[in-house]
Amino acid sequence: MSGDEQRTIRLRVALVYAAFVLFALAVVVKLLTIQLVEGEQWMARAEHVATAYRTVAPDRGHIYSEDGRLLATSVPEYEVRMDTRADGLTKAVLDEHLDSLCWHLARLFPERTANTWKRELLDARARGERYHLLKRKVDHDTMRALKDLPLFRKGRYTSGLIIEKRTVRVRPFGRLAARSVGYVLRDSSAIGLEGGFNEELRGVTGRRLERRLTGGVWMPIEDGNGTDPVPGSDIHTTIDINLQDVADAALAAQLRKHGAHHGTVVVMEVATGYIKAISNLTRTADSTYVEDLNYAVGTISEPGSTFKVAALMVGMEDGLIDIHDSVDTEGGRKRYYDRIMRDSHDGGYGRITVQRALEVSSNTGISAVVHRAYDKDPQRFVDGLRKLGLDRPLGVRIPGEGIPILRSPGDDGWSGVSLPWMSIGYEVALTPLQTLAFYNAIANDGRLMQPQFVSHLSRDGRLVKRCEPVVLKER
């Protein structure tokens, strides 16, 4: 190798060495700058990243029966997981405690043996799982027992134990009034009284500053700027749980007796409109009955013969029908245009009074007197039904109330047979609760009461609001 080539190589090596030295000096200068000049700025930024204002969920209010028994309440439920690669969970620590831990786990959760638990934990560690599920839906007492097991009692950093709290809503009385009491869905929407009084029940969310620790755990810190959550109000219903039990059992017995798919029963206090019992049962595939849909509040259907009273009341109020008038039931068959109406009794009842026609629920008798009175002016009949409040919802606080159907002449679906068929409860539609409210008004001297499910609201034992009876229409 010539002298020139050697000089060239030495020059290149010197340049590379100088570049490394300059780079190292630059790193040192930057480190000193960060530490001595920009240190406070970066510390503040790190503190900001590691802390955040987080929401604090309030306690949801309870729902009580009339006599103070719990119909719905919130209880804590826990999901237990394990960080099998926690910083403090060394092989030595795990080997020391694994056998005793798995023995205790098998006693707490006997669906798995100690060997099964051991194999599961070792496999999870081999896979490097940082969030391995041990058990869902763990109650509070079991959670406390878990935290005292070998290894787990050493804390999260060493054991990797992760306990996540959830709040679940439970109904101590099971299916009794379950659909009317309601429940909260996963998307935070709610049905039944849970939905109708959701604003009052859910309370006000709080806000507090928290610091994130190793492992993603958030620890509250006090800075004086947070706000405490405000618990929700408690709802005190008008439900008499003893009467509810009787109503539910009676409805179930009748549904089984007749092989019915579903049914509803509602008990209303006449003077106040307070609902004392409400049961809605649906037959399942295995022939048991469950509270599935709120038929009383939400399902409209043709009321049938229960509507005959309303039809006669309109005629009597207008002075066009008298209970002592006579009517021919026409052998149990009466033609209206191209349709034949059949009586409730084969062959009819002959000539009877209007009062008797109602007593025996004669289709041909009731339709004949109504048709005779309003054939020339059916709108007057419809207007009379509207005056009784049969065209409007009741405005109950349970979401999903059905909207009545009450057509007028000229509406889609109106025909020459609409008047006689409406008089016996067809071509109209009401919910069972709306029908009940109408009959309750008759018993209440003409006062139409709004059905009420709640008597008052409270918080910490103090009255927040009283729900007074509401008169929708006077006589």
* Three-class DSSP category at 384: helix
- Counting residues of the chain whose pLDDT is more than 90, the rounded percentage is 72
The tens digit of pLDDT for each residue in 189-231 reads: 789 999 999 999 999 989 888 877 655 666 677 777 788 889 9
Element (H, E) at 327: strand 326-328
Global pTM reads 0.79
* Three-class DSSP category at 443: helix
Sequence-distant (6+) residues with CB within 8 A of 77 are: 137, 138, 139, 165, 166, 167, 168
What is the reported pLDDT for 21?
A: 64
Element (H, E) at 113: none
The tens digit of pLDDT for each residue in 38-53 reads: 656 655 555 455 788 8
Contact 291, 279 (CB under 8 A): yes
Rg of the chain, C-alpha, whole Å: 37
Report the sign of the C-alpha dihedral through residues 296, 301, 306, 310, in that order: positive
Contact 62, 73 (CB under 8 A): yes
Pairing of strands 206-212, 428-429: unpaired
Q: What is the mean pLDDT of residues 106-122?
A: 94
Question: Ranked by mean pLDDT, which of 32-46, 70-84, 174-188 comes out on top?
Answer: 70-84
